[in-house]
Amino acid sequence: CDDTQPLFGLSGFPIGVAVDVPKLRYDNQYRDIVHNQFNSLTPENILKFENIHPAEAQYEWAEMDHLIEFAQSGNKRVHGHTLIWHKQLPVWLLNHKGNKEDWLVLMRDHIFKIMTRYKGKVQSWDVVNEAFNEDGTLRHSIWNQKIGPGYIEQAFLFAHQADKDALLFYNDFNLALNANKRKAVLKLITTLKSKNVPIHGIGMQMHVFDGFPSQTEINTAAIEFQKLGLKIHFSELDISLNPLANKQAPTNKMLGNQKRKIKMIVLNYQQLGISSKFGITVWGVSDIDSWIPANFNRMDWPLLYDDEYQTKPMYCGFKEGLLNK
């Protein structure tokens, strides 16, 4: 359907996209869609530890600086993803010796260097990403191993010290689908709040499959987080169509289901209170940009645009949801 009107003009909240910054530099079509359709940008990979902090005494700012320039010239918000995660870590960090105190200093320096540089330019951050296992126990990440479970609290405290104005998020997946995991995250946030540790938002990643999570599951989860007074970010939206890896191309029926699904998700989001709506971010522009095929070694078509940068029914479903139709 027609994409001459930007998606972001259709709603009262920001519409975001995960951006592959190298591609933003060399692919005009890609850049035009990012510029025309979205008003909130999340760097997909360049802020991750291995990319921005590849050696102990080395930070690589060029890619992030480029994104900031692009965002500023187009009047777009930038959401920082992500400071403390168990993946995409550089070898030097994995081999780093030292006791708990050393690791706290290391974590603090990492957070401070990055947040200070982008103070006022990046207004919100996924401070901690994916800290829980599916059964609700805390992941045995390197941060947990070296610092202990208190690393989460520390990361939020450091982030707040680094930039008092920044909005700080916890970001994770399957929070609608998996009630056990959600309970653990709700408990963590309740504890942080009771200790006055600053946390302002929840990133509910929306990596969904064609059939689930259900409308009720999404609704229940979002309302529970809203009750804690958090801003809610549907932070990594994509809808996989080929989980069994048995399709070579999507059928019209599959694309129609995907359209209905995204419309349902967006309508669901619309029901949240205005001050809770941080925005919805899709995890990539076109199907060819998606992380899913490479990660699962299969074909898939999870995003709004096809490989030729043409809008898919999913785009129309997004639009209809935003227009509240």
The active-site residue, picked from 44, 63, 224, 236, is: 236
Q: How far is the CB of 90 from ligand G3I (least distance, A)?
A: 13
User: Is 236 assigned a catalytic role?
Assistant: yes
User: Is 130 assigned a catalytic role?
Assistant: yes
Q: How far is the CB of 297 from ligand G3I (least distance, A)?
A: 12
The active-site residue, picked from 130, 153, 217, 308, is: 130
Any contact of residue 63 with ligand G3I (CB under 6 A)? no
Any contact of residue 87 with ligand G3I (CB under 6 A)? yes
Any contact of residue 281 with ligand G3I (CB under 6 A)? no
- Of 4 and 297, which has the nearer Cβ to ligand G3I? 297
Q: How far is the CB of 88 from ligand G3I (least distance, A)?
A: 5
Any contact of residue 45 with ligand G3I (CB under 6 A)? yes
Residues 100-159 that bind ligand G3I (CB under 6 A): 129
Q: Which of 124, 141, 154, 205 binds ligand G3I (CB under 6 A)?
A: 205
Q: How far is the CB of 129 from ligand G3I (least distance, A)?
A: 6
- Write out the two tokens for 4: 């001459």
Q: How far is the CB of 115 from ligand G3I (least distance, A)?
A: 18
CB 273 within 8 Å of CB 281: no
Any contact of residue 240 with ligand G3I (CB under 6 A)? no
Catalogue the active-site residues: 130, 236
Which spans of this chain sit near ligand G3I (rule: CB under 6 A)?
A: 44-45, 87-88, 129, 205, 236, 291
